[in-house]
């Protein structure tokens, strides 16, 4: 989808890198479901350090190497589409944080195909 402009909603899902859904990374499942739902786009960002509700710090520093670094999945689309997608997250995200923030899209364009 190209051309998303103006008021939008940003959905951010914060989970652990080792979280899984049916033997595949949870972040992968979320991205694939967002794609199937026709959302404008989704990106996954791997954190280098963080902690959540458990207060356990996860870090990539060599002396305390973690296999469960924080991961953020960010999805932006219209408020209606994002809110319609939320029930799909309910069954997936058992631990983590899900936030919604209003935002304004000033540019949304896909890559042009090579000619």
pLDDT for residue 65 is more than 60: no
13-57 pLDDT per residue, tens? 999 999 999 999 999 999 999 999 999 999 999 988 777 777 676
Q: What integer pLDDT is reported at residue 62 of this predicted model? A: 54
State the burial class of residue 12 (Cβ atoms within 10 Å of its Cβ: 0-12, 13-18, 19+). Answer: middle
Which of residues 64 and 102 earns the better pLDDT score? 102
Share of the chain above pLDDT 70, in %: 84
Q: pTM here?
A: 0.83
Are 60 and 69 contacting, i.e. CB atoms less than 8 angstroms apart?
A: yes
CATH class in words for 7-103: alpha beta
């Amino acid at each position: 989808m190209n051309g998303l402009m103006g008021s939008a909603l940003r959905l951010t899902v914060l989970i652990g890198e080792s979280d899984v859904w049916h033997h595949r990374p949870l972040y992968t499942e979320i991205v694939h479901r967002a794609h199937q739902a026709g959302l404008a786009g989704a990106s996954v960002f791997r954190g280098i350090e963080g902690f959540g509700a458990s207060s356990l710090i996860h870090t990539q520093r060599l002396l305390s190497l973690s296999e469960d670094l924080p991961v953020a999945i960010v999805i932006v689309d219209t408020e209606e589409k994002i809110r319609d997608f939320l029930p799909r997250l309910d069954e997936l995200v058992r631990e983590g944080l899900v936030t919604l923030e209003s935002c304004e899209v000033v540019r949304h364009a896909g890559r042009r195909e090579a000619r």
